[in-house]
Chain A
Amino acid sequence: MTASEKKQLMATACKVRMGVIESTHGAKAGHPGGSLSAADVFTYLYFQELNIDPKNPKWEERDRFVLSKGHTAPGLYAALALRGFFPVDDLPTLRHIDSYLQGHPNMNSVPGVDMSTGSLGQGISAAAGMALAAKHAGKGCRVYALLGDGEIQEGQVWEAFMLARHYKLDNLCAVIDNNGLQIDGPVDQVMSPYPIPEKLKAFGWNVVEIDGHDFDQIAAAFAQARETKGVPTAIVMKTTKGKGVSFMENQAGWHGKAPNDEEYEKAMAELKAQLAEVEGM
């Protein structure tokens, strides 16, 4: 990727983060922490990787994305809105009674959402089903799923990993957002999922480990996933929960809490400063 493309992605990621803050502030609820940790990968997926058409969200040949960690809908919605699937101005209606932006992704109400998720552990199975069906039907599209590091405590995730390898779903790419925190605290204190890459390798997957906030590494990982044949690829990315908002970073308390008015102003000021810095580069 060129320096200018990278700069553009960094700027867009700042806007995705602003969308997360706008929507969770508007909802007075929601999950900013894991939305911010995944903001860079959401940005890369929707602005670089996925073969999609915002004007035709149900285009049959499109790549699919399943947000298996469905509670980070604010991050997905921000990326979808910025990509043109629906108005950015709608983001603050998140979770409102008259809004189509449900608390967790709903494929029937939100344009661009490929699978309804929210109950952890099921999205990766659905993504595997999509990849299996795509292969069976001879479709060339790819399927992507984003999982949380706490989410992989669900046994069903490993059933899906087993199935994806068994059926050689090399059109499937699972991204694991290893921000290290879940609702009740650090993942290794709640119920350690570690070592994640070794477990996935033992399940027969191609595994790439990256820094989930580095666009060069993200780009290389997705390229490697596309080139890998015969087995599915998992991208295990180290991230910072709450990334981009100083007082939310590495705080489990910001997993599922909305910023109040004061915190909103502070967060937006920080993100605007980051955007100005990127644009000034």
Chain B
Amino acid sequence: MAEVKKIATRDSYGNALAALGAEHDDLIVFDADLAGATKTGTFKKAFPERHFNCGIAEGNMIAVAAGASTMGLVPFASSFAMFAAGRAFEQVRNSIGYPHLNVKIGATHGGISVGEDGASHQCCEDFALMRSIPGMVVMSPADDVEARAAVKAAYEYEGPVYLRFGRLAVPVFHDEASFKFEIGKGEVLQEGTDVAIIANGLLVNEAMEAGKALAEAGISARVINLCTIKPLDEELVLKAAKECGKVITCEEHSVIGGLGEAVCGLLSEKCPTPVRRIGVNDEFGHSGPAAALLKAFGLSAEHIVEVAKDFCGK
């Protein structure tokens, strides 16, 4: 069996920016002294005159990007998720969200897979923060192919977008040639009728692994990738809930305020369905290798399988 190619979605982000930059002169990039880590450095190498380092001043960077967007440019502003969504929340809310400006926030190092840097840098609250801003699109792509497609879609979309990318290299499972991406549309990766597993980010690959293991155990799991957390693909989620009767959500984010709660909010109003949420359980992260952390926090195929079996009474 050929080895699976692994790429961190932050690398996909930098590559996508460079590719888009070649086509579009109005794309500019802001960073806050992390161009090497966020991979906007890839864009900077190709287009140094369109890359603006703002220094370690994320709140200022966000509002500077807002101002630049009013002049007709399309800014991508980048930092770690902790600082782009966390530290600069109020600048995002008031200077980008409220005037509904055409700024794209490219946040890397989301979730606990940041690894060794530890809890101070492991942002598990960004979906919750960004979802709460009216008019904000929130996306968390699962692999390299989807991440690059999401960056392109964000550029083409008129309005504020929050994109979350990861530090850890993750398997590339989408087929570039056939993949179609649309903001607000999820995809069914495996059909099933006993339980629907809805995931985003690096948990999508784990959910796919879990889906295969569950099939062997006699459980028919529908595996869904919901890259866009907001706006939610309501049709797809409702259909899955109606046809499967049970839903499991999986995200590298707090169980508070993210994909799980977005799904629960929809289902409780339109199709009450039992839900189990897999995510970070109201606690901070920890230093350690990313793979070990994901396992320790239950963000793994094995844990999804356990939860699904218990949920299905097997």
By CB atoms of chain A within 10 A, which of B49, B71, B72, B75 has the most?
B71
> In the complex, which residues of chain B have a beta carbon less than 8 angstroms from the beta carbon of A123?
63
Contact B67 A139 (CB under 8 A): no
Count the A-B residue pairs with Cβ separation under 8 angstroms: how many? 108
| Assembly CA distance A137 to B59 (angstroms) | 24
Q: Decide if the interface of chain A is mainly helix, strand, loop or mixed.
A: helix
| Contact string against A for B residues 65-93, beta-carbon threshold 8 Å, 1 for contact and 0 otherwise | 11111111101000000000000001100
Contact B66 A136 (CB under 8 A): no
- Which of B94-102, B208-216, B287-295 lines the interface with chain A? B94-102
- Which of A19-27, A124-132, A201-209, A269-277 lines the interface with chain B? A124-132
Whether, in the assembled complex, A122 has its beta carbon less than 8 Å from a beta carbon of chain B, the answer is yes
The smallest C-beta distance from A109 to any residue of chain B, in angstroms, reads 10
| Assembly CA distance A116 to B90 (angstroms) | 13
Whether, in the assembled complex, A196 has its beta carbon less than 8 Å from a beta carbon of chain B, the answer is no
- Which of B50-58, B145-153, B257-265 lines the interface with chain A? B50-58
Number of interface residues, chain B, beta carbon within 8 A: 29
Contact A126 B94 (CB under 8 A): no
Whether, in the assembled complex, A134 has its beta carbon less than 8 Å from a beta carbon of chain B, the answer is yes
Complex partner residue of B54 from A60, A115, A131, A163, CB under 8 angstroms:
A163
| Assembly CA distance A137 to B69 (angstroms) | 12
Given A137-B72, A163-B54: A125 and B67 interface contact (C-beta under 8 Å):
yes
Number of interface residues, chain A, beta carbon within 8 A: 33
Contact B94 A129 (CB under 8 A): no
| B98-129 CB contacts (< 8 Å) to partner A | 98-100
Given A118-B94, A125-B95, A126-B95: A133 and B60 interface contact (C-beta under 8 Å):
no
Contact A60 B72 (CB under 8 A): yes
> In the complex, which residues of chain B have a beta carbon less than 8 angstroms from the beta carbon of A160?
60, 63-64
| Contact string against B for A residues 150-189, beta-carbon threshold 8 Å, 1 for contact and 0 otherwise | 0000001001101100110000000000000000000000
> In the complex, which residues of chain A have a beta carbon less than 8 angstroms from the beta carbon of B73?
133, 136-137
Q: Closest 4 A-B residue pairs measured CB to CB? A: A129-B67, A125-B63, A126-B67, A159-B60
- 17 new A-B pairs (CB below 8 Å) besides A60-B72, A108-B99, A114-B70? A115-B66, A119-B91, A125-B91, A126-B95, A128-B60, A129-B64, A129-B75, A132-B64, A132-B68, A133-B67, A133-B69, A133-B70, A133-B73, A159-B54, A159-B57, A162-B55, A163-B60
**Residues of chain B having any CB pair with chain A under 8 Å:** 28, 49-50, 52, 54-55, 57, 59-60, 62-73, 75, 90-91, 94-95, 98-100
